Amino acid sequence: MDDPAPSPEKRPRMASETPLIREYWAILLRQKWVVAGIVALALLAGLALTLMATPQYSSSARIEISRQQQQITNVEGIEKSDRTFDQEFYETQYELLRTRAVAERVARELRLANNLAFFAAHGLDPDNTPLLASNGGAPSREELQNREKLAVGLLLGNISISPVVRSALVDIGYTSGNPTISAQIANAWSEQFIAESIDRRYESTADARKFLERRLLELQEDVQDSERQLVTYANENDIVVLERVEQDGKTVASPTLASRNLSAMNEALNEAVAQRVLLESQARTGAGGDTVTNPAITTLRARRSELQAQYAQLMVQFEPGYPAARVLQEQIAALDQSIAREEARVRGSANDQYRAAVEREETLRARVNALTGQLRNQERARIQYNIYQNEVDTNRELYEGVLQRYREIGVASVAASNISVVDEAQVPGGPSSPNLPLNMLIALFAGFALAGAAVFTLEQLDEGIRDPSDITALTGLPLLGAIPTTDEEEEDIGQIIQDPKSELSEAYLTVRSNLAMSTNHGVPHSFMVTSSRPAEGKSTTSYALACVIARTGKKVVLIDADMRSPSIHGLFDMANELGFSDYLTGHEDLGPLVQQTNVPNLWLMSAGRTPPSAAELLSTDRTREMVAKLREQFDHVVMDAPPLLGLAEAPLLSRALDGVVYVIEARGVPTRGINMSLERLHDSNTNVFGAVMTKFSGKESSQYGYGYGYGYGYGLSYGREEKPA
């Protein structure tokens, strides 16, 4: 036997990264009919559903949801007017728009429980719906409740809330089979949502009002008790408050009667002291009394000055004894006496005023001392008085605060809604669905999605080897070559292979070249071709390798050892009368068993007659003896062996040959089946030279499409549907 080929572990492996796009393209080509079929079915289904669908009409109303509610008055509500709501506020409003409470209000407002047109707009026929069927009379309360529940469910299932991006606007849309009903429900939904918002706000303040009313009564009693204690304590301690000075609702000053009297008495005492000091100063200087400004003295002094002037004038002309002069002297003397008497009287009055001022000062000083003592006693009592006063202020402040909050709740409950209708819904002029272009586009995408899922499933279920580059990784065998698929008839394959310029011939020439490198002396002297199951192309491969080797000038004999299903003689258009089975049964002369073919340097030993048990015939050493005899006459012995799965012939035949060429059909036997077959060969210590992939479509490969398109461009075009070789 020839030297064994190097083990797969020792062979250099050239790993090449395949772009994903090429792998996906190869998968698409492999499953193109599956994809096309599923997409076509999806488009047909979309078209049928569109044509059969009931027209639907959509109408929408637009509302504005403000961040702050509008106030009728300027009174600040419970929540601060400058509060800013974040996105959570709007998300809450959107969810409130979809609540069952709003749907129930719409159903009650429009009386949908009794509106059969509403149910008909949603495809509910009264004749086919027991709940809507008429019994000749008015429906009962229970039936109305059930109808209302059904109506609410339909409303919630057909309402759509669509916020306008980057705005406070929201579109409320409704879809049904009746355009008028769609518009009515869209408008009613916006109105009832506003009413629901107002009711919810009013109900939320009801509990607060009740609580504040109870709290106001309690605080009112506290204010009355604290004021009563304050007045009682003031009466007991003679504290008379004239007025209170308040700041920020608290008493900051409260002057009493005693303090006010002390202040007045102190001012009077200061005035008396000043008057007494003035009179005392006048008395000491001798200028007591006001003789200069006294009217009587002033008049007398003026008269005396006149008389003196007249007397001086007379003295210019007359002597002092002149009678008129003496009369003037007497009058002047009388005036002097009158002035003296008046000045004496004025001075006496000043002394009396001084004494009176002293007495008044002493009296006022005594009164001030008394009031000072009384005020000291009251100031000590004012400590407790202030405590009572603070308690009164605190209770009053609490009472006023709660009262203000109570008023605010009352005002907030009548505040205008922060939701307003911008555009009312109008009756649509045409149906919104079915939309044929849109439905077909959706069907197209759905078809591609289903096709992708189907292709993925098929690819996962397909455990066969699809790409020649996967053979070594999955089986451990070296790749001898990949044979492209062809759509030619089986009887024409022989002629195609014999054409050196054909695609198949070129492919098998590559296999022969790689096979020559599997041993140290070139192409093995004897080898057989087998596969895992029938119809994988092993007979064609053995025929082609024999022809290619014979073309190099070597004498080759091709043995058809598949006695169960012989086929090699058909490729040569020769008879199958005597052959391999005849030698196994005792025919000693190989001459009649080997036939000359029309291919130069190539002979054929057909399978011969079909024996009852081929495995029993192969259990002897006749095969080994026959191969040894043929080696003496021929350079190479090529044997077409039966498949491995389920049959025992191939391992028995391999013992008489140098090795095995294993044929693997592209996308054929699962990998586990191939490995099971190879294990049988390994168990019989058979040398496997490598694997040949048959029925390979280069366009479905991510790596081999370009190679075959360029290298095998003489005759056949690949990429056609594969056909069993």
**3-class secondary-structure state, position 257:** helix
| pLDDT exceeds cutoff 60 at 284 | yes
Distance CA 426, CA 430 (A): 12
Q: How many residues does the chain have?
A: 725
Instruction: Determine contact, residues 654/684, Cβ cutoff 8 Å.
Output: yes
Select the more confidently predicted residue: 708 or 62. 62
Please provide the average confidence, as pLDDT, over all residues in the chain: 80
Instruction: Determine contact, residues 490/725, Cβ cutoff 8 Å.
Output: yes
Residue 132 one-letter amino acid: L
Q: Which long-range contacts (CB under 8 A, 24 or more apart) does 445-454 make?
A: 446/42, 446/46, 447/38, 447/39, 447/40, 447/41, 447/42, 447/43, 448/35, 448/39, 450/38, 450/42, 451/34, 451/35, 451/38, 451/39, 454/31, 454/34, 454/35, 454/38
155-159, 335-339, 487-491, 581-585: segment of lowest average pLDDT: 487-491
Instruction: Determine contact, residues 485/697, Cβ cutoff 8 Å.
Output: yes
Distance CA 298, CA 225 (A): 72
Average pLDDT estimate for 525-545? 92
| pLDDT exceeds cutoff 50 at 285 | yes
* C-alpha distances in Å from residue 54, one per residue of 34, 116, 117, 157: 32, 17, 15, 17
| pLDDT exceeds cutoff 80 at 590 | yes
Stated pTM of the model: 0.48
Six-digit token pair at 603? 């002979």
Select the more confidently predicted residue: 30 or 102. 102
Select the more confidently predicted residue: 491 or 459. 459
Six-digit token pair at 84? 């800013």
**3-class secondary-structure state, position 688:** strand
Torsion of CA 611, 615, 619, 622, to 10 degrees: 40
Distance CA 226, CA 71 (A): 37
| pLDDT exceeds cutoff 60 at 637 | yes
- Helix axes of 538-551 and 503-516: crossing angle, nearest 10 degrees: 80
pLDDT in tens, 36-77: 999 999 999 988 988 888 888 999 999 998 876 544 344 444
Which helix (DSSP H) or strand (DSSP E) does residue 252 occupy? strand 250-253
Average pLDDT estimate for 584-609? 91
**3-class secondary-structure state, position 713:** coil
Six-digit token pair at 46? 């979309």
* pLDDT class of 710 with cuts at 50, 70, 90: very low
Average pLDDT estimate for 141-153? 88
35-49, 93-107, 337-351: segment of lowest average pLDDT: 337-351
**b/e string for 3-36 if b means 16 or more Cβ within 10 A?**
eebeeeeebeeeeeeeeeeeeebbbebbbeeebe
Distance CA 689, CA 593 (A): 28
Residue 452 one-letter amino acid: G
Instruction: Determine contact, residues 559/567, Cβ cutoff 8 Å.
Output: no
| pLDDT exceeds cutoff 60 at 713 | no
Q: Where are the alpha helices (DSSP H) in 413-429?
A: none
Residue with tokens 């000062």: 361
Six-digit token pair at 323? 């009678």
- Omega into 19 within 30° of 0, i.e. cis? no
* pLDDT class of 543 with cuts at 50, 70, 90: very high
Select the more confidently predicted residue: 458 or 165. 165
Residue 665, Cβ density class (10 Å: 0-12 exposed, 13-18 middle, ≥19 buried):
buried
**3-class secondary-structure state, position 120:** helix
pLDDT reported for residue 18:
57
pLDDT reported for residue 526:
94
Distance CA 549, CA 638 (A): 10
Q: Where are the alpha helices (DSSP H) in 162-256?
A: 179-236
| pLDDT exceeds cutoff 80 at 293 | no
